[in-house]
Structure 1
Amino acid sequence: MKVLILGAAGQIAGLLRDHLLKETNDSLVLYARNAHQRLTMKDETREKIVEGDFLDEEALKEALTGVDVVYLNDMGNTEAVKTVIKAMKASQVKRFIGASILGIYDEVGGAFREWNQAMIGSSPRMQAQKDSAKAVENSDLDYTLLRLTWLYNEEGNENYSLTQKGEDFIGAQVTREAVARLIVDILGDTSDQFIGKSLGVSEPGTDWEKPSFY
């Protein structure tokens, strides 16, 4: 399988890259702004580094050559997401996994809802995430959206729990390591159970008023 990682210099993308190189035979296309300054080749036989912008449709189409799956590390720019969708359609690539954020369906409840609303609820970033998710859901892509709760790092902690669209979001935090593991699990799944799904992603046992690191 050939995987295009858009935003490959990000933290989750870096963890995902390491897992895929270690645990699979997948080939990787690592796409990012100033990619050659921010990324170092780890396996010349399986990796390709591409410099480009998410708004550059031609660069995206070139990077999509031979690709089976696209992972987008940030859906905070709606026009960029629409450009990615357009490039994927032109390249006849259907499988898409995108990292979004919690709250795009007003699915967070309780005291955590109040805290989350105060932090990001009315921000331009939240609206962009809502619009980006809608664009993906209205496309004909075989998508999986990941609605991530508040992120932190903890080596070795790959525990995640999932909620479905329409269910209350549960969980105030999750590690980037767990998110990377989830993406690996989704990429390795052959049952199509994740296609057309928008998944709330959190750490089990963190149904709190706010993340522990705030």
Structure 2
Amino acid sequence: MSTKVLVLGAGGAIAQHVIGFLQENKDIDLTLFARDTQQLAFLGSMSKIISGDVLNREELTNAINGQDIVYANLAGDVDKMAKVISETMTQQGVKRLLFVTCLGVYDEVAGKFGEWNNRMIGSELERYGKATRIIEKSGLDYTVVRPSWLTDKDETDYETTQKGEPFIGTEVARKAVGAYIADVILHPEKDVKASVGVNKPGVYGDKPAFY
């Protein structure tokens, strides 16, 4: 029996890589949820596509109903979205959630890189931090994903850190984050009730090289 996976924010760049890794896997049944579904048209009939707003409870409930895994890769009012998603999943009896936030939500980025990161992300960090705490208190089988500063490089190298460990890697490719997320979807027992930093191995410093 195939695993039913709902992708919230399916039009996003990381999500597109995740979809690319999973769409031909016969054991995965993808449902793609996005405000603007035009950019998903190239997928043809390979996946179910839903146009909707995460903050619309009715649309979200209809999408979550019957799924096995929810993967959320969202921007904007992520704290409000985290609340609605976790409440709706609990109501629908869906337990497994992957939710992307960002580095720095625990003040886990050390030294000069941490100071630079906090300055650059600014008030967004508070919102992502709130979303992270909502997910962690939700009672769901969550994995919070905290990527480093993102590049569009065509590479899949990544290393991970767990909550409580310092985050030192200054960058990571969106494709590599997608590879990590796809791996967790294929092995849903991995990193349950964990908050995982994802970065490129060996690239450390005071800020990303592209700044």
* TM bin (shorter chain): over 0.9
- Give the partner amino acid of 2:177: V
Alignment of 1:1-214 (within 5 A): 1-35=3-37, 37-44=38-45, 46-74=46-74, 76-77=76-77, 78-120=79-121, 123-155=122-154, 157-189=155-187, 192-214=189-211
SS, match of residue 101 in structure 1:
coil
- Give the partner amino acid of 1:21: Q
**How many residues are treated as equivalent by the alignment?**
208
TM-score, with length taken from structure 2: 0.94
Aligned mates of 1:197, 1:83 — CA distance in 2: 20
Asked whether the equivalents of residues 16 and 184 of structure 1 are also in contact (C-alpha less than 8 Å), the reply is yes
Q: Could you tell me how far 1:41 is from its partner in structure 2?
A: 4.9
Structure 2 gap ranges (5+):
none
Q: Structure 1 residues 87 and 22 mapped into 2: Cα distance closer, same or farther (>3 Å)?
A: same
Q: Could you tell me how far 1:4 is from its partner in structure 2?
A: 0.3
Q: Could you tell me how far 1:76 is from its partner in structure 2?
A: 4.7
Q: Percent identity between the aligned chains? A: 39
Aligned mates of 2:190, 2:70 — CA distance in 1: 17
Q: Could you tell me how far 1:133 is from its partner in structure 2?
A: 0.4
Asked whether the equivalents of residues 113 and 168 of structure 2 are also in contact (C-alpha less than 8 Å), the reply is no
Asked whether the equivalents of residues 75 and 129 of structure 1 are also in contact (C-alpha less than 8 Å), the reply is no
Asked whether the equivalents of residues 8 and 14 of structure 1 are also in contact (C-alpha less than 8 Å), the reply is yes
Structure 1 gap ranges (5+):
none
